[in-house]
Amino acid sequence: MLKIVGIGLLGLFALMVIPPGVADEVNPMFYGTANVILADPVGNVLMAQTVHNLLTDQGETFVINQVFDTSTAALTGQARVNAICIYEALDSAFSESATDGLSNALSGTGSSCHAAGSGLIGNTNQVATTEGEIFVAGTDFDAGGTISGILICGGNGAVATFAACSTPGGSVALAAVNINNVTVTGTDTITITYTFDITTPSS
């Protein structure tokens, strides 16, 4: 079964250490979402969707290695998660394990990945949020192309390429998001904001 961040490792750990009867009161809520807005060249919103992500197998391993003192050294700086990548193809079918080796259908001259917020991620009240990253038809992907998926990636010190993010040995693909197909024409834009929330309700 596909695992979303809402039932990720940290939530499972919390449930394991909380005595019976207390877990229901704590009710941890850990999740990641991508907010996607399609707009025309003058900014009129044509479509909006908010979709929960899948924490990938390599993303789960990455979280453990970053938080716990394992045999793998934790990453620092821009090698950490800081990029948003779009998948230009019909009907993406990302799963927790099936993000490796995907090829990008991008045939234009633009990049399929952008550094999120110039590589810096906001951290407010245990919620990490990227700035809205704008992808432009005809520049970042072919006008008339269809976007169906998003990867949240590590940058390895620079803006990742889709292939680098989704190929073993490349940047870490922390999370994957299957969105409804979005066909973008002219110079329409897609703005993507990613949120990773690990807060728990206050008592």
How do the domains of the chain map onto residue ranges?
A: 34-195
Please give the structure tokens belonging to residue 157. 């010190």
Q: Which residue has the tokens 């003058």?
A: 42
Strands 189-197 and 173-183: unpaired
Average pLDDT score over residue span 101-129: 65
Give the model's confidence band at 54: pLDDT under 50 very low, under 70 low, under 90 confident, else very high.
confident
Q: Which of 12-16, 72-76, 163-167 has the lowest mean pLDDT?
A: 12-16
Q: What is the mean pLDDT of residues 129-156?
A: 84
**Using 50, 70 and 90 to split pLDDT, how confident is the model at 168?**
low
Closest C-alpha to 9, from 33, 32, 30, 24: 30
Q: How confident is the model at residue 6 (pLDDT cuts 50, 70, 90)?
A: very low
Predicted pLDDT of residue 161: 63
What pTM value is reported for the model? 0.76
